[in-house]
Amino acid sequence: MTPTLVLSNALGTDRRLWDAQMPALESRFRVLRSEHGARSSVAELGADVLSLLDEHDVDRASFCGVSLGGAVGMWLAATAPERVDHLVLACTSARFDGPDAYRERAARVRVEGTAPFVEATLDRWFTPRFHDRERFRTMLLEAPRDTYAACCEAVAAWDFRERLGEIAAPTLVVAGAEDPATGPEHARVLADGIVGARLLVLPACAHLANVEQAERFTAVLLEELA
C-alpha cells in the first residue's frame, strides 16, 4: 500500500506552497495537502487533520508542516501518536514570538484584510536574494480574512514547550539559517525537547525554506521519509 503524507502550510499560504515538492512526492506517496480553516487554536486545526485522515480512510500517515503547519504536526504527534509515522517540522516553534502582535494583526485583518502586512511578511518569508515573490504576494492578498485572523489567534495562543517530550514519532526539525521568525534557536528548542529528534539548518533561506531552497528541502524530506 502506498504510504500517505500530509502536508500542512504556513499562515497566509495555501496548498500551492508545496507545488515545488509535489512531482517528487506524488511518485512515492499518497499526498494530502491540508489547508487551515478559520480555527483559533492549533488543537482545532489538528482535529481538522484527523478528520481529513478519517475522510480518506487513512489510519497512519507521515506529516510535514511549515510554520503553523509544524505546530499542527506537533499537536498531532503528541495527541494522536497512533496516527503519525514520521514527523518533519520546518521553520516552526513551540512558542512563536510576539503573541500580542499576532492578536493585534488578527483584529486589523478582520477589518482591512491582509494588505497592510504583505510587504513585511514577504520580508520574513524570503531573503533579499529570492526574486520570485509575486505569486506569494498574490497568495497572501487572497487569503480569506476570517481564516487568516483566526489562525493568527491560534499562533498567539500556541505554547507547546511543556509537551514536546510527548512526541514519540521519528522527527526531523528543519530551520532556515536566515529565518527571522523561527530561526535556528527555535529549532534547537524542538530538537532538544523531542527525544531522538534530528536538527538540520538549511543555508541561504528564510521562513519558507521549502520554497527558497526547494530542491534541497525536497531531497531532505524524501531522505527522512525513506
Q: What is the pLDDT of residue 226?
A: 87
Q: Give Cβ neighbours of residue 51 (< 8 Å, ≥ 6 apart).
A: none
CA–CA dist 76, 39 (Å, integer): 15
How many independent structural domains does the chain possess? 1
pLDDT tens for each residue of the chain, 226 residues long: 899 999 999 999 999 999 999 999 999 999 999 999 999 999 999 999 999 999 999 999 999 999 999 999 999 999 999 999 999 999 999 999 999 999 999 999 999 999 999 999 999 999 999 999 999 999 999 999 999 999 999 999 999 999 999 999 999 999 999 999 999 999 999 999 999 999 999 999 999 999 999 999 999 999 999 8
Domain of residue 95, CATH code:
3.40.50.1820
**Domain of 119, in residue numbers:** 4-225
**Does residue 5 contact residue 63 with C-beta atoms inside 8 Å?**
yes
pTM metric for this prediction: 0.97
Can you read off the three cell numbers belonging to residue 158?
Answer: 500556541
Average model confidence (pLDDT) for the chain? 97
**What 8-state DSSP symbol labels residue 27?**
T
Can you read off the three cell numbers belonging to residue 5?
Answer: 503524507
DSSP, collapsed to helix, strand or coil, labels residue 175 as strand
* First CA to last CA distance, the chain: 15
